[in-house]
Amino acid sequence: MSEEQIRFLPYEEAVRLVAAIQEEEDLDDPDHRILTVYSRQEKEICWFDFEEVMRDAGIKSNDPDAKEKVTAYVMRHIPDWALDI
C-alpha cells in the first residue's frame, strides 16, 4: 500500500487562510492538548498535536518566543486540502 504524501500550502497562502490557532483540550483525552486551526470564516481547518509541534519545532517550555515559533511552524504545515474546507 502506498502512502500519499502530504503537501502543504505556501506560507503566504496559509496566512491568508488562517485566522487563529487555539490551544485546546482534546475532547477524547482531557490530559492531552491540541492546536486547532480556524479559518477567517471561523471554521475548523485542521488540528495538530501540541506536544508533537513543540518537539518538532524545537520549542522548550520556558522559551519566551514559543508563541511565535508555534505560529510559524503551524503556518508552514497547513495541508493543501485545507482550501477545500
48 lies in some domain: yes
Return the pLDDT at 63: 93
Query: Into how many domains does the chain fold?
Result: 1
1 lies in some domain: no
Residue written as grid cell 477524547? 28
How many residues are there in the chain? 85
4 lies in some domain: no
Domain region containing 26: 11-84
Return the pLDDT at 64: 95
pLDDT for residue 1 is more than 50 = no
26-84, pLDDT tens digit by residue? Answer: 888 988 999 999 999 999 999 999 999 999 999 998 999 999 999 999 999 999 999 99
* Cα angle: 30, vertex 73, 70; to 5 degrees: 50
2 lies in some domain: no
64 lies in some domain: yes
Q: Does this model's pTM top 0.85?
A: yes
46 lies in some domain: yes
5 lies in some domain: no
Return the pLDDT at 3: 64
